[in-house]
Amino acid sequence: MLDCLFRTELTIRTMLFSREYVGYLAREITKKLISGEFIETKDVPAITEKVNAALLDELSLEDRINDEVRVILEAYSDEMQRSGANYQEMFRKVKSELVRKYKAVL
């Protein structure tokens, strides 16, 4: 229960924009792409939805990396406890390795 509560709180803190704002950004980006003649479409809502999905995917990247770090550290929790490793320090190290692995920009 506490882990679930912590993850929910963490997700809310790390998500920089609300879904509504991301939707607004997707609509505005789509308008600019069309008006600047970068794209041509007859189905504006479909393009807007794809832009929205891409933005949400990109913005949730850090959350997905954090989740992967937790899974990795959970697998090594006994070993970390025996060696006296600091969880926060290990979290940062593993996260930076995954960021490099995925070539992410956070």
Residues 55, 67, single domain; the answer is no
* 3-12: long-range contacts, CB 8 A cutoff, minimum separation 24: 7/67, 10/63, 10/66, 11/63
In a domain, 3, yes or no: no
Cα 16 from Cα 60, distance rounded (Å): 9
In a domain, 104, yes or no: yes
Question: How high is the pLDDT of residue 8?
Answer: 40
Q: How far is CA 7 from the centre of its chain?
A: 13
pTM recorded for the entire structure: 0.61
Residues 71, 44, single domain; the answer is no
Question: How high is the pLDDT of residue 5?
Answer: 38
Give residue 39's domain range.
17-59
Give me the tens of pLDDT residue by residue for the chain, a chain 106 residues long.
334 434 444 444 445 788 899 999 999 999 999 999 999 999 999 999 999 999 999 888 999 999 999 999 999 999 999 999 999 999 999 999 999 999 988 8
Residues 44, 26, single domain; the answer is yes
Residues 77, 53, single domain; the answer is no
User: In this structure, which amino acid lies at residue 38?
Assistant: F
Residues 50, 38, single domain; the answer is yes
Domain count, the chain: 2
In a domain, 42, yes or no: yes
Residues 82, 104, single domain; the answer is yes
